[in-house]
Structure 1
Amino acid sequence: MGWLKRLFGLEKLENQETVEAPAYQAPVAEAQAQAQSGGSAQTIPPERMGLNGEYDQSGLAKRVAQAFDANPDVADIETVYVAQLGTTVVLKGTVPSQEIVNKLVTIAKGVKGATGVETNEVTVG
């Protein structure tokens, strides 16, 4: 079972790549209404960007899970969980080696919106 399915109940799309979604821009009619009223177009912070460019409170964690699914070295790990505290990715659980922890951290840091990775709740053993 993949990361997205196990953690969020979401299926990985066939041939899905881990491409960052573009910054969300309000729909044209909404943007025009905001322009007329003096407002500005909405942008979603990178840590709240969902898998399809929508606002998602757990967007960063889901995109990290998606990145883990895409990497064959860590795709089958089922003993680690991903969460987020703002722009920090939080990993919890057990892994067989420090090498796996390092790989997870490297992958997570590469996801847009992640400013740090917390691993103090990961046990090696």
Structure 2
Amino acid sequence: METALSQLSERLNNRRFTVVNNTQGLSGAGTVFHYFVEEEAITSSYQGGRIRIGNQIGRVTGPDTIELLYQCLTTNGEILAGWSRGTVGADQAGRTTLHFVWGWLSGAVGGGESNYVELVD
């Protein structure tokens, strides 16, 4: 029997995502996120656009929800860190989507909302 955790893992594990909308944040259309899921644990790396290198660590919090901590080094040499809470879904084409509410913890102030869509080869 497939559980909610296995469904979420299937949607995220070893999948890549790009930004659809992130008006308040640093990541943009050139930023690619690559996620991995092992049981409840989530990790990812990201780079591109204004992000030289970044990574995330988090956990599954519900059937379609996750929470993450992230840190990055920008192309301007800034080190930034923050938090996010996300919802995992799907668009009409069947691609996985991510919607986040997020905020900065270090290096910047404020926060916002962002949307991502799976990159399909």
| TM-score under structure 2 length normalisation | 0.31
Which is helix-richer, 1 or 2? 1
Higher share of residues assigned strand: 2
Higher Cα Rg: structure 1 or 2? 1
